[in-house]
Amino acid sequence: MRFILSLAILALPGMSQPVFPDGAFEWHGPVARGSFIEIRGINGNVRAVTSTSGEVEVVAKVEGKESAASVQVHLMRHGNGVTICSVFPGETVCRALGDTGPGARVNFEVRVPEGVSFLGSTVNGGVEAEALKSDVQAYTVNGQVRVSTTGTLQAKTVNGSITASLLKPFWSGRQNSRLSTVGSGWCFPRRPTLR
């Protein structure tokens, strides 16, 4: 059984919801072009793909031995976007970027409409954004970052690599793109040349 968070909850500044016994949480809703969707994990992967529905769609699944009851998913609506994060027992707000924590591994998958910026972060896991048509910020401490987008890109990892495919030419609005890694390297895969 999956839990669908109703749009009525979006009017509240922040709300935690339990992850149900099958380990799933699901939310979908409109996020305006030019706004953002932020997924903030702690333990687990964050993956984003292009939305075909025109809405942001998020599914979070608990993995491993930890009980789904030990994790909640927190949703906060901002004036210019939505933040969804893992919240562990005794916590009422999202942890700051880079903070580690106990508890279950929660893997997030998000579908992002064109023009909605994607901010994805986790501490122990990878961040992937595939063929997005928006700006991307992707951060992890222990994991790799893999991104392909037509927008600008900011990516950082401490212990991992970065693979980036910028789907528009560098001279087309790329002034704000940045990549940073400490423990490994980064690469731009070459696109085939048509002759």
10-residue averages of pLDDT along the chain (195 residues) = 30 48 83 97 95 96 70 88 87 75 84 98 96 95 94 91 80 57 56 44
Contacts of 83 (CB under 8 A, 6+ apart): 38, 40, 74, 75, 76, 94
State the pLDDT at residue 35: 97
State the pLDDT at residue 12: 38
pTM of the model: 0.81
State the pLDDT at residue 175: 56
State the pLDDT at residue 95: 78
| DSSP result, 57-84 | EEEEEEESSS-GGG-EEEEEEETTEEEE
State the pLDDT at residue 19: 52
State the pLDDT at residue 189: 53
State the pLDDT at residue 7: 27
Side chain identity at residue 59, one-letter code = V
Supply 115's token pair.
């023009």
State the pLDDT at residue 89: 72
State the pLDDT at residue 8: 28
Domain range summary for the chain, segments of one domain joined by +: 7-125
